[in-house]
Amino acid sequence: MPDGIKINDAAFEITPGGLEALMSHQGAEVRVTRLDLSVSPEALNVLLRRLAPEGGPAPTAQVSDGRLQVSSQREGKAVELDLQVGGFQLRLSPEGIRLVSGGPDGV
């Protein structure tokens, strides 16, 4: 995957009301109906730097096959999260958002 954030495939719609709001600077309303997005490790680290407290070290992330490792420092102590879960599925339902480990291949 090349560096950066890549939209591999997306589709969206703006309704007449949404466009009216957008053009009159009264808000926006976009309906996304398809999204396939890739974020490279480098881009992920750029975004994580934004989460760092003022003057503090930023969390860092490493992504490899089926594994996400996030390291950060809190009050001088190292905190590491190692997710060896293969992948994630994000499910949307009336109950809310559910993040489930495991990819579509059941890993």
In the complex, the residues that contact another protein under the rule CB under 8 A are 2-20, 23, 31, 34, 39-40, 42-43, 46-47, 49-50
Cβ 79 to another protein shortest distance, Å: 21
Rounded Cα–Cα distance for residues 73 and 28 (Å): 38
**17 vs 27, beta carbon nearer another protein:** 17
Rounded Cα–Cα distance for residues 20 and 25 (Å): 9
**42 vs 82, beta carbon nearer another protein:** 42
Distances (CA, A) of 93 to 50, 97, 98, 103: 30, 6, 8, 19
**55 vs 106, beta carbon nearer another protein:** 55
